[in-house]
Homo-oligomer: A and B are copies of this chain.
Amino acid sequence: MLSMKCKYALKALVVLAAEGKKLPSSAIAQKARVPAKFLEAILTDLRKADALTSERGAHGGHTLKGAPEKIMLGHVVRAMDGMLAPIPCASTFYYKKCDDCTDEKICVIRHAMLEVRNKISEVLDGLSLEDLLNMSPKKKQQLFW
Contact = CB atoms under 8 A, between A and B. Distances in A.
A123 B2 CA distance: 19
Interface in A102-145: 102-104, 106-113, 115-116, 119-120, 122-124, 127, 132-133, 135-138, 143-145
B108 A133 contact: yes
A1 interface: yes
Interface string A1-27: 110000100110010000000000000
B1 A1 contact: yes
A145 B73 contact: no
Given A122-B119, A132-B108, A87 B2 contact: yes
Interface string A59-96: 00000000000000100000000010011000000000
A101 interface: yes
Given A101-B145, A109-B144, A111-B135, 5 more contacts: A11-B109, A106-B143, A108-B145, A116-B120, A120-B120
20 contacts: A1-B83, A2-B86, A11-B109, A14-B108, A14-B109, A102-B143, A102-B145, A103-B143, A106-B137, A106-B143, A108-B132, A108-B133, A108-B145, A109-B145, A111-B132, A111-B135, A112-B132, A112-B135, A115-B123, A116-B120
Interface of A: 1-2, 7, 10-11, 14, 33-34, 73, 83, 86-87, 98, 100-104, 106-113, 115-116, 119-120, 122-124, 127, 132-133, 135-138, 143-145
